[in-house]
Amino acid sequence: MKAKDLIGALLVVAIVAAGALWLFREQLGLAAKTEPAPAVVEHRPESILEPGRALTPPPPEVADDAPASPNEDPAVAPAPLPSLQDSDEPVRQSLIDLFGLDVVEQYLLPQALIMRFVVMVDNLPNPNLTAKMRSIRKVGGDFVVEQRDDRIYLSDANPARYAALVQALQVADMSRVAAFYRQHYRLFQQAYDQLGYSQRSFNQRFAYVLDHLLATPQVEGPIELLRPRFFYEFADPQLQALSSGQKAMLRLGAGNRVIVEAKLSELRRLISQLPPS
């Protein structure tokens, strides 16, 4: 299995992360299209964890039904893996072969691909997902709100910003993604270990995060927003209390969300079927 199949796994979660990142930026008071925002000083988050630098975070929630460590297919001789530090260029070159240089340069951040993916997955259930935790570049287009009388709503024009990524996701073969993931699991687990989770399974964490995203509540009708000071918030306190990942699922829009949820569900099913070591 070629490294280019990592694009499916990256896109499945990166699309959600892209929405979470834009939500984070907008909560910091960046301008919406219909109304200029006041100047706000943005506090820069800490740099993404460099290989070899460990931290000790609180224990994450995990999915108990997912195997702790997927095995490689015994019928296929495993190809030699690069080191985690040397894995970026082979993955990037394979993505260029698959999608072309323009697409890769427009969307993909070229450094620390696997580490960024693992950090991003681990943080989607958290309240905020900072720019240092993403694996793709920010989505283009303006954040658009609609004003009706004295109320503010999330505009139906926003989902169009994710159209290109969602279209790329539609063609991803999740069975090939799962095969790549199984064969290269050592690198994903190594990256997770470097976050301070050496006694934890990344596969179980990944499954938990997929379940968490799929549990995003359905919202009927337009989504009302508030701007009590500089920041946009969901008017519904229950929506405002959601994680960055679940808020991003809402931001995708109904049509995009159907596609993304189908891919999330398929990938969740596939990784839960991977044989334990």
Instruction: Extract the runs of DSSP E, i.e. beta strands, from the chain.
Output: 145-148, 151-154, 224-226, 233-234
Sign of CA dihedral 140, 146, 152, 153: negative
What token pair was written down for 93? 């070159």
pLDDT at 135: 65
Low-confidence ranges of the chain (pLDDT < 70): 1-60, 64-79, 91, 94-100, 102-103, 131-136, 138-139, 274-277
**Quick one: pLDDT at residue 55?**
43
- Sheet with 145-148, side-by-side order of all strands: 145-148, 151-154, 224-226, 233-234
Which pLDDT score is estimated for 106?
Answer: 76
Please give the pLDDT value at position 78.
Answer: 58
* Total-model pTM: 0.76
Mean pLDDT, the chain, integer = 73
Please report, in angstroms and rounded to a whole number, the separation of the first and last CA atoms in the chain: 20
- Encode burial over 72-110: b for 16+ CB neighbours within 10 A, e otherwise: beeeeeeeebeebeebbebbbebbbeebeeebbeebbee
| Other CB atoms within 10 Å distance of the CB of residue 56 | 7
Q: What is the pLDDT of residue 54?
A: 41
Length of the chain: 277
For the chain, the structural domain boundaries read 3-141+158-222+243-272
The tens digit of pLDDT for each residue in 97-148 reads: 555 676 677 777 778 888 888 988 998 898 877 766 666 676 677 778 899 9
Confidence (pLDDT) at 274? 62
Structure tokens at 36: 């200029």
The answer to whether 247 and 225 are in contact (CB under 8 A) is: no
Centre a 10 Å sphere on the Cβ of residue 203 and count the other Cβ atoms it contains. 26
pLDDT of residue 31: 41
